[in-house]
Amino acid sequence: MLIDPRVLILLGANALLLHLCLMVNSSLAPFSLYFVLLGPMPVLPALYLNQRSFFLCTVLTGLWVDAALPTTFGLFTCTMLTLGTVIFGARIRFRAEQNYHPIVLAHAVNLGCLIMLIPFEGLQYLSSTAFWIQLLITCFASHAALLIIAPWFFNLERLLFQLCNTDQDPDELPLS
């Protein structure tokens, strides 16, 4: 098959996570509290899909995130593609069917996304202590929320695989 049908499932789940994150952020805006929950989005595509399907899913997810968030266009597409490619290259070392490794990877990708926001969105504010306080609060709040959101999200994606009768095993892994 040219495109793995799991791409549509993962893309829809990523769109759902982004939409929920944006809804929560808009309701928390009066308190200047924001969540960046982009870490889980490229993890399961990198662990489950073949190279072509992973690339398609990650690029479409990144473009969707770039269109929805007020950042430099292409920032999250390139960041997710780079971090997802690192995970894809080392995916033989991770257990995709359980939640421990994907959660750790989601925290790493989320931290990478937060670090990429600093030079692209805040160079003029680097000398301001309020910027660093806001960044630390956002980072801690995002990673605390990710402890709850990431297991739910990965289980949702696996449940959608099961409900849609698609293959639940990662592609292209050597047999042991």
Domain residue limits at 20: 6-163
Return the biggest CA–CA distance within the chain.
Answer: 53
Can you give the pLDDT at residue 176?
A: 46
CA nearest neighbour of 19 among 81, 74, 75, 69 = 69
Q: What does each of the 176 residues of the chain score in pLDDT, given as a tens digit?
A: 678 889 999 999 999 999 999 999 999 999 989 999 999 999 999 999 988 999 999 999 999 999 998 888 899 999 999 999 999 988 888 887 788 899 999 999 999 999 998 888 777 888 889 888 999 999 999 999 999 999 999 999 999 999 999 888 787 664 44
Q: Tell which phi-psi region holds residue 50, choosing left (phi > 0), alpha (psi between -120 and 50) or beta.
A: beta
Number of domains, the chain:
1
173 occurs within a structural domain: no
Token pair of 73, please?
């266009």
Rg (CA), the chain: 16
Local structure of 42: helix, strand or coil: coil
172 occurs within a structural domain: no
135 occurs within a structural domain: yes
Cβ neighbours around 128 below 10 Å, total: 11
Question: What global pTM score does this model have?
Answer: 0.91
82 occurs within a structural domain: yes
Q: Tokens 């994150």 — which residue?
A: 21
Distance set, CA 116 to CA 25, 95, 169, 172, 173 (Å): 19, 27, 32, 30, 31
